[in-house]
Amino acid sequence: MEKTWRLIIDGAREPGANMALDEAIMQRMAEEPSDPTLRVYRWTCPCVSIGKFQQLDDIPFLKSGVPIVRRPTGGGSVYHDEPGITYSLVFGERSGVMPEGTAASYRHIHEGIAAAVREFGLEAELYVPASGPVKAFGSCFALPVRSDVVSRGKKIAGAAQRRRFGVVLHQGEVSLPLDVWRKWSYNNALNIFVDCLSRQLQAGFLEGQITDKEGRLAEELLMERMEEVTR
């Protein structure tokens, strides 16, 4: 049975504003149950997002001069630039729109991402790790983890999740090679991306907007982060 999701095709925002807005959508859903949301967005400048629990010593871009922003989700550092698609999914943990549990939902979402990557003409499969130690933090795209999307052995899509008050925030990045962007415009690639997720999630996406409350919450969260830095 198809479920209705809100689709937000957002423009470019400052790194801190993008992270605050994802968290604001999550917070609003915890306070006022609403339709699950897919938000696709861009960045005003190249930047690096780091995981909520990542130590600064783990960041390879620390001395590069590139802006660094902390995500509300975990994981390692991710470089965000033009040749990529950044997105977030926000949904109720027990809403029935997604398999329950981190591993199951992560795999389910990435099956749709892999389908989109194949539509772009690339090989894509979900990564199944061999036994051995798991690398912690560092650069997120340097080493895939279970159910990341890989193309010819190279990680091409990863994500991180946070669960709070019965709501899940899933933040993901699809890093596509330049050859893809020579064949596809951003808007065409975005349509393929959304269509493949729609089929995978059995979701009917209705395009919507950031609500006034979400905008206010995002401003408050952004101000809190700025105050934390300047204390």
Q: Shortest CA distance to 174 belongs to which of 93, 119, 230?
A: 119
Choice among 45, 47, 140, 196 that is catalytic: 140
DSSP at 97: S
CB atoms within 10 A of CB 177: 13
Quick check: is 140 catalytic?
Answer: yes
Cα 96 versus chain centre, distance: 20
Q: Cα(145)–Cα(141) distance, rounded to whole angstroms?
A: 9
Angle between helices 212-230 and 15-31 (to 10 degrees): 120
Dihedral of CA 182/184/189/195: which sign?
Answer: negative
- Active-site residues, by number, are 140
